[in-house]
Structure 1
Amino acid sequence: MTIDRGILALLEAKPDKGEELAAFLEQGRALAAAEEGTVTWYAFKVSDTTYGIFDTFENEDGRQAHLSGAIPAALANVGPDLLAKDPDIRPVDVVAVK
């Protein structure tokens, strides 16, 4: 398995919406597990309002399938209520993996 690409998404919750955003991200795990092309999927907390998602893929098809899949669609639905601003979504190249 060669993991050579990923996505980093940084999410800023509205004041007092951090716990709701965390709960949403916890639910996202099941959606990510169902994605054939997603190798790893992490949701993380940086601060009370800053959260993120990092996922990895073996190929561009997997990354594109994820970007057009259930998690971004769900985030678009809850974003206006939970997020202070649009998500910062960045495709990344994975340099090294252990």
Structure 2
Amino acid sequence: MIKKALFVRLEARPGKEQAVADFLDAGLEMTNREATTPIWFALKLSPTTFGVFDAFASEEDRQAHLAGDMANSLMARVEQMLASPPSVELIDVLAMKNKLA
């Protein structure tokens, strides 16, 4: 059962919008290798603002993701791609519906 989540907001440096979008696209492969990250979305919120929403069964799973390849890869590129450090919000999931259309 999904109990924990993250929302990460990413603001691209001017001219780096496509680099952020490409990084997030590649992030799908990284998160697919994480057995404890069952839900992951890469989002475009505006022309320069991007986000990631992911959800987990436990706090341990969330922490494993925060210490994993995707997070480490992002942090290694902050200066290059982002106007400011990522904003990370820890979320408790109260209820969830997951039904494919």
Task: Report the TM-score when normalising by structure 1.
Answer: 0.96
Structure 1: gaps (5+ residues): none
Q: Per-residue displacement from partner, 1:30-87 (whole Å, max 9, x unpaired)?
A: 1101101111000000111100000000011110100000011101111111000000
Indicate whether 1:88 and 2:94 are aligned. Answer: no
Q: Alignment partner of 2:52: what SS?
A: strand
Match of 2:28 in 1: 29
Compute the displacement of 1:7 (Å).
Answer: 0.6
Match of 1:20 in 2: 19
Q: Is the 8 A contact 1:10 1:51 kept in 2?
A: yes
Structure 2: gaps (5+ residues): none
Q: Is the 8 A contact 1:12 1:84 kept in 2?
A: yes
Kindly report which structure 2 residues correspond to 1:14-93, keeping only aligned pairs within 5 A, or say none: 14-93=13-92
Residues paired across the two proteins, number: 97
Amino acid of the structure 1 residue aligned with 2:77? V
Q: Alignment partner of 1:3: what SS?
A: coil
Could you tell me how far apart the structure 2 residues matched to 1:64 and 1:92 are?
Answer: 13
Runs ≥4 in structure 1, deviation > 6 angstroms?
A: none
Could you tell me how far apart the structure 2 residues matched to 1:95 and 1:84 are?
Answer: 32
Q: Is the 8 A contact 1:37 1:61 kept in 2?
A: no
**What RMSD, in angstroms, separates the aligned Cα atoms of the two structures?**
0.7
